[in-house]
Amino acid sequence: MRFTKDHEWVSLDGDVATIGITAYAAEQLGDVVFVETPEVGKTVTAGEGLAVVESVKAASDVYAPLSGEVLEANAALADAPETVNQAPEAGGWFAKVRISDPSAFEALMDRAAYDAFLETL
């Protein structure tokens, strides 16, 4: 699993990246009440909006950590957005994306680097 400074996580299986937000991000957001996932087939660009996650108070953008094409969105979040709080780094994933440049994955932070980054916040 790799991480971004915007608190997204990515796990890679071949050239398919599964993307979600970290436990830290989920905790900061508070109770998630709505998730807008991307449409299948959409091309996303690293650093641009991938999904929107809404708490009672506010809407927050989730950015694509890597560029690629959306293969699947997590439909279960429509009825159970709270999964993002309960299992942010597992069942609370937002989308699976076929990435165009697998080397970009390796350039993201690993767990140790992300944990060190959290210490600076």
Partner 1 sequence: MSDETLKLTPLYAAHLEAGARMVPFAGYSMPVQYKDGVLKEHLWTRENAGLFDVSHMGQARLRGVSPLSAFEEVTPGDFIGLKPGKQRYSVLLNKKGGIIDDLMAGRPDDDGLFVVVNGACKDNDFRVIDNELAGQVRIDRLEDRALMALQGPKAAQVLVIHAPDAAKLAFMETAAIQAFGVDAIISRSGYTGEDGYEISVPGEAALRIWNTLLADERVRPIGLGARDSLRLEAGLPLYGHDLDETVSPIEASLNFAVSKKRRDARDFPGASRIAAELAGELTRKAVGLKVEGAPAREGAEIADTDGHVVGVVTSGGFAPSLGYPIALGFVPPALAAVGTELKVIVRGRAQAAQVVATPFVPHRYVRKV
Q: Which residues bind partner 1 (CB under 8 A)?
A: 30-31, 33-34, 36, 52, 54-59
Classified as helix, coil or strand, 109 is strand
Calpha distance 49→51 (Å, rounded): 6
CB nearer to partner 1: give 45 or 113: 45
**Minimum CB–partner distance for residue 111 and partner 1 (Å):** 26
CB nearer to partner 1: give 50 or 99: 50
**Minimum CB–partner distance for residue 121 and partner 1 (Å):** 14
**Minimum CB–partner distance for residue 16 and partner 1 (Å):** 26
Helical (H) or strand (E) element with 15? none
CB nearer to partner 1: give 107 or 118: 118
Taking alpha carbons only, the member of 37, 96, 34, 30 closest to residue 65 is: 96
CB nearer to partner 1: give 5 or 57: 57
**Minimum CB–partner distance for residue 72 and partner 1 (Å):** 20
Calpha distance 83→87 (Å, rounded): 6
Kindly report the backbone phi and psi dihedral angles of residue 120, in degrees, each rounded to the nearest multiple of 5, phi listed first. -85, -10
